[in-house]
A and B are shown apart, each in its own frame.
Chain A
Amino acid sequence: MLSISDKDYGTPPRNASGMVELEIDGRPVSAPAGTSVMRAAAMLGVSVPKLCATDSLEPYGSCRLCLVEIEGRKGYPASCTTPVEPGMKVRTQTPRVADLRRNVMELYISDHPLDCLTCPANGNCELQDMAGVVGLRQVRYGYDGSNHLDAPKDESNPYFTFDPSKCIVCARCVRACEEIQGTFALTIDGRGFGSVISPGQNGPFMDSECVSCGACVQACPTATLTEKSLIEKGQAEHSIVTTCGYCGVGCSFKAEMKGNEVVRMVPNKDGMPNHGHSCVKGRFAWGYATHPDRVLKPMVRDSIEEPWREASWEEAIARAAAGIKRVQRKYGRGAVGGITSSRCTNEETYLVQKMMRAALGTNNVDTCARVCHSPTGYGLKTAFGTSAGTQDFDSVLKADVVMVIGANPTEAHPVFASIMKRRLRQGAQLIVVDPRRIELVKSPHIAAAYHLPVRPGGNVALINAMAHVVVTEGLVDEEFVRERCEGPDFELWKSFITQPHNSPEAVAEIIGVPARDIRGAARLYASAGNAVIYYGLGVTEHSQGSTMVLGMANLAMATGNLGRDGVGVNPLRGQNNVQGSCDMGSFPHELTGYRHISDPVVREMFEREWGVKLDPEPGLRIPNMFDAALDGSFKALYVEGEDIAQSDPNSSHVIAALRAMEFVVVQDIFMNETAKYAHVFLPGSSFLEKNGTFTNSERRISLVRKAIPPLAGKEDWEITAALSNALGYPMQYRHPSEIMDEIARLTPTFAGVSYDKLERLGSVQWPCNDAAPQGTPVMHVGKFVRGKGKFTLTEYVPTDERTGPRYPLLLTTGRVLTQYNVGTQTRRTANVLWHSEDRLEIHPHDAEQRGIRDGDWVSVSSRAGAITLRALVTERVAPGVVYTTFHHPETGTNVVTTENSDWATNCPEYKVTAVQVMPLPAGRVPKGRQPIPAQLAAAK
């Protein structure tokens, strides 16, 4: 069911440069070549009746409702499959086509339940609308013939129903699954009258390959596929465009509302990152926002041994301010700090860093991007001059070769993965660098040309070897390097990279990738025409994370794959506002726009605006804060939206640090693990309850709009402002737009950004300023931000975290489609039906050696600690490598990860932990852990 406010043009737009002039119903119209007659008519405001056509799908021509008459042509062509031609004269309304359409509708309705008044689609049903449009007044065939009215309803999916009795077999759902999502989970089974929509092998949706992205539900013109929330609540009466609160794709959604209640979240057709597509999290897993676990009152206590007690906002804020001040007076201004989350808006993270620097006089402020993409910031700034990905998402549609390194887009960035898969189905080649055989390696109609299963920790050796091939085999784009890059740096790099120790043959055994595959992949990447790199935390979360980012930048520059559509180096950010939180000056050494705090010119600008003197020295980073807490020099922390006790590595170390602090303030929507060590809890607001902006992985700034009032009474930016006021530093913003205005005044790359512009354009990609008033989809066109691109030497230095007799396996971690990070949000939704526990993936060879069978409880121990979870025996992982997720606190995955970190940024090395895996004694279930069936029953 389409959004209540969408206009549907019937078929997708065409981008041909040539225009075609024609006449529809006697009115002239001009449309790009290739446009359908149906769309051209819609452009004129003429609606041609339709059922199987919708503008998100290629025309199909099956319903026969959109027939028209065209002068000089025989018969009645379907307007959806007929392209416009010069001079064409079309008539959309004639007595003959009216008869034909009415006859078609009679056939449809003769096999359709006549329960319109009680049907959930009532009020937004295309079939009902078409019956009205064609003037259906009778069904001459009667209703007693063969029909599908008794077909059983499939309620297996927690979020939508499939009622085949209402199905008209228009195949919009099947085509949406194929064309938009690329999963191919649906098909039409049978022929003629016996045709039915079939998920998988004609089983229930939950047993099929369906990933619950919702594309089929949105495409359905009847109530066959319907959101359960809509069935329960009825049609919405208004909608609010906002931005998803999950991953770094930053999908635009329409929150369809009844008063202050969300009826459903519908992906916004006009949303630039997602073009009307969604995934199971953004589309359906929003129920956490009103979950009973939400804490709606401020809470306070004198010590972490005491129970919480409710307090007024005034008391809680006063206590928070007094506690922080008390610590500063006792231990010095550097004894306090703040941490924000990438789930916070730009305005929120900006305010927290401003409060820390201006109100508290310390640069001890960091953001959770520290533990995910801080190496991206360092690497891309060093090489290109700015800390961000180079392309917009749509750029992938121009790529000839896509190299995915250490990322799993179908699970972690599903909507972008769908765009990428579309390009791959069109014929682009794929290289996957990942220790696991991720879904992209082989999925419907997609097969990677190369899967390089690099051993965890071997990334830099691999990228160096690829660059070695490029240089030694004469594949360097000499003209690009000569014109666009620093010459001496390139020459130095060239002499380094051509050394024999960087050759594929020298590193193959070390990293577990055959030399011929490295050579093949390098040749493919370098010779592609347009080759693009997308990468994730499998690149950054290593002791050489920054080196690897530099290595990828070297490779892209050497092959000339920068500065135009279809190329580039692009981080896929894990959370919705990783890019934004980094942009907002949330790192302890940088002010907004990645300008170092030691720069007196920049500092003076901020000092003038903020009215205070700023400390020119960098502050503590998150891991440094923990270390300093344990040595007694860091004593108070304000954490907004981040559950450091669960998400940061070596949990015991983090918890010891939190216990060593005298005062901790947590601001969150749930009482998270970190709050166990807090003295004041400030109840925050979900993305549905506040105004602000998020900046996605493609640097796109989008508005977050308040759909419902904050359940606890305040938006998060208001809480920070109140705390700052209580600390004695006034913040008098009336709306986040005023905060953005301040950001724009202080940040050259944001100088042209305002809420007015965002309202007008929908979104903009920074840099947005006088030089680029509409924003910048592709960066470094013609010239790098730093001027010339900089090649850097990237020597491979093996991590200290190595296997040995005691810990012979390498553990790496990741996430699944249905859960999000530490699961705070998604575990409080029906998504647990897909993923109710973290499992340890282990190769059959390693499992057999240890007597481990699929489903057995196993212990995983490392130098840092030990956890228990159940085994999943699979060849997805290579021998010697095990893998798990970190979505469930009872697993405690980060108990075993270590404090090893990236040399440049201290980003933890989550992706490499030497472990031993052993089975628990038969029949033993760890204390407090339920067998799976009981967990699932509870979830249901």
Chain B
Amino acid sequence: MDIKHLVKMANQIGDFFAAYPNRDETVQSIAVHLKNSWDPRMRRQIIDYVERSGGADLKPIVRDAVRALEMPQQIAAEVPGDD
């Protein structure tokens, strides 16, 4: 997916939680939101982006939140119903 778009979306999430004074909790809230609402391929891509390029276009709290995310497991390959 377009990484610029994902970066923008992630930064928007960061903008919301940035109002909270405790930085650690803010980072945690951003990570939880990403985990709960982003499909694994989106999370994989943003984690890749941070790991490979350092995630310069992400706001610092968002970058830290992405670093706190676990890389989602690859989706099961088999198609339901196929034996």
Chain A positions 580 through 598: 1 when the CB is less than 8 Å from some CB of chain B, otherwise 0: 0000000011000000101
Chain B positions 41 through 83: 1 when the CB is less than 8 Å from some CB of chain A, otherwise 0: 1100000000000000000000000000000100111111110
Docked-complex contact A332 and B36, CB < 8 angstroms: no
Docked-complex contact A618 and B36, CB < 8 angstroms: yes
Shortest distance between the CB of A506 and any CB in chain B (Å): 16
Known interface pairs A359-B81, A361-B76, A631-B1. Does A619 touch B18 (Cβ–Cβ under 8 Å)? no
Docked-complex contact B79 and A619, CB < 8 angstroms: no
Chain B's closest residue to A327 (CB) is B79
| B79 proximity list for chain A (CB < 8 A) | 325, 328-329, 333, 361
Most buried by B among A547, A598, A624, A633: A624
Return the contact of B39 from the options A328, A612, A617, A630 (Cβ within 8 A). Answer: A617
Docked-complex contact B81 and A334, CB < 8 angstroms: no
Known interface pairs A627-B1, A795-B15, A797-B15. Does A334 touch B41 (Cβ–Cβ under 8 Å)? yes
Measured in the bound complex, the distance between the Cα atoms of B75 and A325 in whole Å is 16
Known interface pairs A793-B20, A903-B12, A903-B13. Does A631 touch B2 (Cβ–Cβ under 8 Å)? yes
Chain B's closest residue to A799 (CB) is B12
Chain A's closest residue to B73 (CB) is A617
| A325 proximity list for chain B (CB < 8 A) | 79, 81-82
| A546 proximity list for chain B (CB < 8 A) | 16
Known interface pairs A618-B37, A633-B41, A904-B33. Does A332 touch B1 (Cβ–Cβ under 8 Å)? no
Return the contact of B77 from the options A332, A360, A364, A588 (Cβ within 8 A). Answer: A332
Interface residues in A367-424 by Cβ distance below 8 A to B read none
Measured in the bound complex, the distance between the Cα atoms of B6 and A26 in whole Å is 79
Measured in the bound complex, the distance between the Cα atoms of B78 and A332 in whole Å is 8
Docked-complex contact B80 and A612, CB < 8 angstroms: yes
Docked-complex contact B5 and A329, CB < 8 angstroms: no
Interface status of A607 (Cβ within 8 A of chain B): no
Docked-complex contact A903 and B39, CB < 8 angstroms: no
Interface status of A620 (Cβ within 8 A of chain B): yes
Return the contact of A797 from the options B16, B21, B81 (Cβ within 8 A). Answer: B16
Measured in the bound complex, the distance between the Cα atoms of B37 and A128 in whole Å is 64
Chain A positions 918 through 940: 1 when the CB is less than 8 Å from some CB of chain B, otherwise 0: 00000000000000000000000
Interface status of A727 (Cβ within 8 A of chain B): yes
Measured in the bound complex, the distance between the Cα atoms of B54 and A627 in whole Å is 23
Chain B's closest residue to A359 (CB) is B80
| B80 proximity list for chain A (CB < 8 A) | 333, 358-361, 612, 728-729
Known interface pairs A598-B36, A618-B37. Does A903 touch B16 (Cβ–Cβ under 8 Å)? yes
Measured in the bound complex, the distance between the Cα atoms of B2 and A546 in whole Å is 24
Known interface pairs A617-B39, A624-B42, A631-B2. Does A332 touch B81 (Cβ–Cβ under 8 Å)? no
Docked-complex contact B13 and A624, CB < 8 angstroms: no
| A334 proximity list for chain B (CB < 8 A) | 39, 41, 75
| A901 proximity list for chain B (CB < 8 A) | 9
Docked-complex contact A543 and B2, CB < 8 angstroms: no
Interface status of A239 (Cβ within 8 A of chain B): no
| A617 proximity list for chain B (CB < 8 A) | 39-40, 72, 75
Interface status of A807 (Cβ within 8 A of chain B): no
| A727 proximity list for chain B (CB < 8 A) | 81
Shortest distance between the CB of A596 and any CB in chain B (Å): 6
Interface status of A906 (Cβ within 8 A of chain B): yes
Interface status of A60 (Cβ within 8 A of chain B): no
Return the contact of A906 from the options B9, B16, B19 (Cβ within 8 A). Answer: B9
Docked-complex contact A333 and B40, CB < 8 angstroms: no
| B19 proximity list for chain A (CB < 8 A) | 496, 793-795
Chain B's closest residue to A328 (CB) is B79
Shortest distance between the CB of A479 and any CB in chain B (Å): 27
Interface residues in A903-923 by Cβ distance below 8 A to B read 903-906
| B33 proximity list for chain A (CB < 8 A) | 904
Interface residues in A11-30 by Cβ distance below 8 A to B read none
Interface status of A899 (Cβ within 8 A of chain B): yes
Interface status of A615 (Cβ within 8 A of chain B): yes
Measured in the bound complex, the distance between the Cα atoms of B62 and A666 in whole Å is 38
Docked-complex contact B75 and A795, CB < 8 angstroms: no
| A628 proximity list for chain B (CB < 8 A) | 1, 39, 41
| A903 proximity list for chain B (CB < 8 A) | 9, 12-13, 15-16
| B82 proximity list for chain A (CB < 8 A) | 325, 329
Shortest distance between the CB of A728 and any CB in chain B (Å): 3
Measured in the bound complex, the distance between the Cα atoms of B20 and A334 in whole Å is 35
| B37 proximity list for chain A (CB < 8 A) | 589, 618, 621, 904-905
| B8 proximity list for chain A (CB < 8 A) | 800
Measured in the bound complex, the distance between the Cα atoms of B38 and A619 in whole Å is 7
Docked-complex contact B1 and A795, CB < 8 angstroms: no
Chain A's closest residue to B13 (CB) is A903
| B9 proximity list for chain A (CB < 8 A) | 901, 903, 906
Shortest distance between the CB of A403 and any CB in chain B (Å): 24
Shortest distance between the CB of B39 and any CB in chain A (Å): 5
Shortest distance between the CB of B37 and any CB in chain A (Å): 6
Most buried by A among B12, B41, B42, B79: B79
| B38 proximity list for chain A (CB < 8 A) | 618
Docked-complex contact A596 and B36, CB < 8 angstroms: yes
| A360 proximity list for chain B (CB < 8 A) | 80
Docked-complex contact B12 and A543, CB < 8 angstroms: yes
Shortest distance between the CB of A365 and any CB in chain B (Å): 12
Docked-complex contact A333 and B81, CB < 8 angstroms: no
Interface residues in A535-558 by Cβ distance below 8 A to B read 543, 546-547
| A361 proximity list for chain B (CB < 8 A) | 76, 79-80
| A621 proximity list for chain B (CB < 8 A) | 37, 39
Known interface pairs A359-B80, A360-B80. Does A332 touch B75 (Cβ–Cβ under 8 Å)? yes
Shortest distance between the CB of A597 and any CB in chain B (Å): 9
Docked-complex contact A624 and B75, CB < 8 angstroms: no
| B21 proximity list for chain A (CB < 8 A) | 492
| A598 proximity list for chain B (CB < 8 A) | 35-36
Docked-complex contact B2 and A547, CB < 8 angstroms: no
Most buried by A among B12, B20, B77: B12
Measured in the bound complex, the distance between the Cα atoms of B83 and A755 in whole Å is 38
Docked-complex contact B16 and A904, CB < 8 angstroms: yes
Chain A's closest residue to B12 (CB) is A903
| B81 proximity list for chain A (CB < 8 A) | 325, 359, 727-729
Shortest distance between the CB of B20 and any CB in chain A (Å): 6
| B72 proximity list for chain A (CB < 8 A) | 617
Measured in the bound complex, the distance between the Cα atoms of B75 and A572 in whole Å is 38
Measured in the bound complex, the distance between the Cα atoms of B19 and A903 in whole Å is 14
Docked-complex contact A589 and B36, CB < 8 angstroms: yes
| B75 proximity list for chain A (CB < 8 A) | 332-334, 615, 617
Shortest distance between the CB of B26 and any CB in chain A (Å): 10
| A795 proximity list for chain B (CB < 8 A) | 15-16, 18-19
Measured in the bound complex, the distance between the Cα atoms of B33 and A905 in whole Å is 10
Docked-complex contact A547 and B1, CB < 8 angstroms: no
Chain A's closest residue to B74 (CB) is A332
Measured in the bound complex, the distance between the Cα atoms of B5 and A8 in whole Å is 60
| B35 proximity list for chain A (CB < 8 A) | 598
The 5 closest A-B pairs by CB, nearest first: A728-B81, A903-B12, A795-B19, A793-B19, A361-B80
A-B contact pairs, 29 of them (CB 8 A): A325-B79, A325-B82, A329-B82, A333-B76, A333-B78, A333-B79, A363-B39, A492-B20, A492-B21, A596-B36, A617-B39, A617-B72, A618-B37, A618-B38, A618-B39, A619-B39, A620-B39, A620-B42, A621-B37, A627-B1, A631-B2, A633-B41, A793-B20, A795-B15, A800-B8, A903-B12, A903-B13, A903-B16, A904-B16
Could you list 5 further interchain pairs (A-B, Cβ under 8 angstroms) beyond the known A633-B1, A903-B15?
A361-B79, A363-B39, A618-B39, A620-B39, A795-B18
Chain B residues engaging chain A, CB cutoff 8 angstroms = 1-2, 5, 8-9, 12-13, 15-16, 18-21, 33, 35-42, 72, 75-82
